[in-house]
């Protein structure tokens, strides 16, 4: 190919689906409103495409459950821009293309002697999509995945490339990291890294809810990352997953009993009736951080597959009261539930992060794919949690009214100004953003 042709930005329609099926999200609960999907291989192609489109959305790995990613007009994928650009051990950072997934980056980072501070329950999601929606893992001292972003570059509505960093752009940076795809097309991310570490995972079964009530902070602080699973039946936490980080100064001797729960004698799936074959190794077998912090292994189907998800963040100081409030709904909730997961996340300063300004606990619901029942239950749960001012996960299903949702974010006005600055014509807005963020 001649040099002139190579420099010419060419966008290829992406065959992301079979011709006889619609373009839809991972869970299959949402058919996207257009199948015009283009793939960009370079920043120049992104700039060219953005300049020419009246409206567009970026699609990452399509793991959102609501219509935050949807477009009636056109989709752009940057999933081909998935290289490691620079590993800088002195700065303690790695720079990646926005199409990079945690599943691809993590083993590579480990092989070079480095690690990320945390991961979500599954590794096979795009880093850009995860960070722009404030995806989280667990740990009383661990911020969500977006807090590892120290710089980013994105293409704004004008086609300009905008670099922002924690060190140099203070406020605008704190506003842009959890940008919900509203500011532009992220092309590059810089993440904080640390020396690699090993993690041992232990699972305990059947913890009485009363133990959680009396010892919540002790239980959640017993390991680097702790997840509690319950089906809300029989007043018990069915599984407690403790991810113990070697060398973090916390000693965990894996007693046979942990706050009334018994140490499991085999690998478990969070949904106890499912095979653990897709789950990361347990039983205290040491392994690299990326193969223990997520519950599900790289390249394997996470969770149940056919499911819906809802999740609410409340201040950690209200954790026990909020959990007890939801427990009162167990007769309504349990028949439609696959499993609930309870996790803690440290406070951060990212404007639209649900953990903004408060150490948080999340109460998550993996539902059976029973939309009529789930859509009727969400407002019931939201009313029950109302005294604790719940913030819904941006990427999951919820029914909190838009005005109420906006009021939960003290930096919402500043975020609107940021969006106005980078996207004056509203090129990156869609139905979700118009309803919940822009009030139009």
Ligand X SMILES: Cc1cc2nc3c(=O)[nH]c(=O)nc-3n(C[C@H](O)[C@H](O)[C@H](O)COP(=O)(O)OP(=O)(O)OC[C@H]3O[C@@H](n4cnc5c(N)ncnc54)[C@H](O)[C@@H]3O)c2cc1C
Q: In this complex, which beta carbon is closest to ligand X, that of residue 232 or of residue 394?
A: 394
**11 vs 40: CA distance, rounded Å:** 6
Least Å from the CB of residue 146 to ligand X: 10
228 touching ligand X, by CB under 6 A = no
Q: In this complex, which beta carbon is closest to ligand X, that of residue 23 or of residue 211?
A: 23
395 touching ligand X, by CB under 6 A = yes
The set of residues, in sequence order, having a beta carbon less than 8 Å from that of 262 and lying 6+ positions away, is 204, 205, 206, 256
| Phi, psi for 276 (deg, rounded to 5) | -85, 10
Q: In this complex, which beta carbon is closest to ligand X, that of residue 62 or of residue 243?
A: 62
**Interaction pattern, residues 201-220, with ligand X; x per rule: CB under 6 A:** --------------------
Least Å from the CB of residue 342 to ligand X: 12
Q: In this complex, which beta carbon is closest to ligand X, that of residue 77 or of residue 93?
A: 77
**72 vs 68: CA distance, rounded Å:** 12
109, 122, 177, 308: which one contacts ligand X (CB under 6 A)? 122
243 touching ligand X, by CB under 6 A = no
361 touching ligand X, by CB under 6 A = no
Least Å from the CB of residue 150 to ligand X: 17
Options 119-127, 249-257, 273-281, 373-381: segment touching ligand X (CB under 6 A) = 119-127
128, 140, 157, 176: which one contacts ligand X (CB under 6 A)? 128
Q: In this complex, which beta carbon is closest to ligand X, that of residue 152 or of residue 259?
A: 152
Options 56-64, 258-266, 325-333, 384-392: segment touching ligand X (CB under 6 A) = 56-64
30, 40, 56, 78: which one contacts ligand X (CB under 6 A)? 78
Options 61-69, 238-246, 266-274, 325-333: segment touching ligand X (CB under 6 A) = 61-69
**Interaction pattern, residues 280-319, with ligand X; x per rule: CB under 6 A:** ----------------------xx----------------
Binders in 165-194 for ligand X, by CB under 6 A: 180-181, 185-186
385 touching ligand X, by CB under 6 A = no
106 touching ligand X, by CB under 6 A = no
Three-state secondary structure readout of the chain: CCHHHHHCCCCEECCCCCCCCCCECCCCCCECCCCCEEECCCHHHHHHHHHHCCCCEEECCCCCCCHHHCCCCCEEECCCCCCEEEEECCCCEEEEECCCEHHHHHHHHHHCCEECCCCCCCCCCEHHHHHHCCCCCCECCCCCHHHHEEEEEEECCCCCEEEEEHHHHHHHHHHHCCCCCCCCEEEEEEEECEECCEEEEEEEEEEEHHHHHHHHHHHHCCCCEEEEEECCCCCEEEEEEEEEECCCCCCCCCCCEECCEEECCCCCCCCCCCCHHHECCCCCCCEEHHHCCCCECCCCCCCCCCCEEEEEEEEHHHHHHHHHHHHCCHHHHHHHEEEEEEEEECCECCCCCCCECCCEEEEEEEECCCHHHHHHHHHHHHHHHHHHCCEECCCCCCCCCHHHHHHCCCCHHHHHHHHHHHCCCCCCCCHHHHHHHHCC
130, 203, 237, 308: which one contacts ligand X (CB under 6 A)? 130
117 touching ligand X, by CB under 6 A = no
Q: In this complex, which beta carbon is closest to ligand X, that of residue 259 or of residue 366?
A: 366
126 touching ligand X, by CB under 6 A = yes
61 touching ligand X, by CB under 6 A = yes
Please report, as ranges, the residues that interact with ligand X according to CB under 6 A. Answer: 26-27, 57-64, 68-69, 78, 98, 120-122, 125-126, 128-130, 132-133, 135-136, 180-181, 185-186, 302-303, 393, 395
């Amino acid at each position: 190919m001649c040099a002139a042709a190579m420099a010419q930005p060419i966008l290829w329609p992406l065959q992301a689906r079979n011709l006889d099926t619609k373009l839809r999200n991972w869970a299959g609960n949402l058919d996207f409103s257009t199948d015009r999907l283009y793939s960009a291989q370079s920043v120049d192609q992104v700039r060219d495409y953005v300049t020419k489109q009246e409206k567009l959305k970026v699609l990452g790995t399509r793991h959102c459950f609501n219509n935050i990613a949807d477009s009636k007009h056109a989709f752009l994928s940057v999933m081909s821009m998935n290289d490691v650009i620079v590993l800088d051990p002195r700065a303690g950072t790695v720079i990646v293309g926005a199409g990079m997934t945690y599943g691809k980056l993590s083993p590579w980072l480990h092989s070079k002697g480095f690690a990320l501070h945390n991961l979500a329950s599954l590794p096979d999601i795009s880093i850009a999509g995860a960070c722009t929606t404030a995806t989280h893992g667990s740990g009383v001292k661990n911020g969500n995945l977006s807090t590892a972003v120290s710089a980013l570059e994105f293409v704004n509505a004008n086609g300009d490339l905008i670099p922002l960093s924690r060190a140099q752009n203070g406020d605008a940076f704190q506003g842009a990291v959890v940008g919900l795809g509203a500011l532009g097309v992220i092309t590059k991310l810089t993440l904080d890294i640390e020396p690699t570490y090993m993690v041992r995972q232990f699972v305990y079964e059947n913890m009485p809810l009363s133990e959680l009530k009396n010892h919540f902070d002790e239980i959640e602080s017993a390991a680097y990352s702790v997840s509690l699973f319950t089906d809300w039946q029989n007043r018990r936490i069915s599984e407690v997953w403790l991810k113990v980080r070697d060398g973090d100064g916390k000693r965990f001797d894996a007693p046979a009993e942990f706050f009334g729960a018994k140490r499991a004698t085999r690998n478990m799936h969070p949904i106890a009736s499912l095979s653990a074959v897709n789950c990361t190794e347990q039983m205290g077998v040491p392994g690299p951080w990326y193969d223990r912090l997520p519950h599900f292994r790289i390249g394997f189907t996470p969770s149940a597959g056919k499911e819906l998800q809802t999740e609410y963040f409340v201040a950690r100081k209200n954790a026990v009261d909020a959990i007890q409030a939801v427990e009162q709904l167990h007769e309504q909730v349990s028949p439609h539930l696959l499993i609930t997961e309870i996790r803690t996340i440290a406070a951060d300063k990212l404007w639209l992060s649900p953990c903004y300004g408060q150490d948080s606990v999340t109460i998550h619901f993996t539902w059976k794919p029973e939309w009529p029942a789930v859509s009727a239950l969400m407002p019931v749960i939201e009313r029950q949690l109302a005294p604790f001012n719940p913030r819904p996960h941006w990427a999951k299903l919820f029914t909190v009214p838009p005005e109420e949702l906006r009021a939960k974010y003290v930096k919402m006005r500043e975020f609107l100004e940021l969006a106005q600055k980078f996207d004056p014509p509203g090129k990156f807005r869609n139905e979700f953003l118009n309803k919940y963020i822009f009030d139009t």
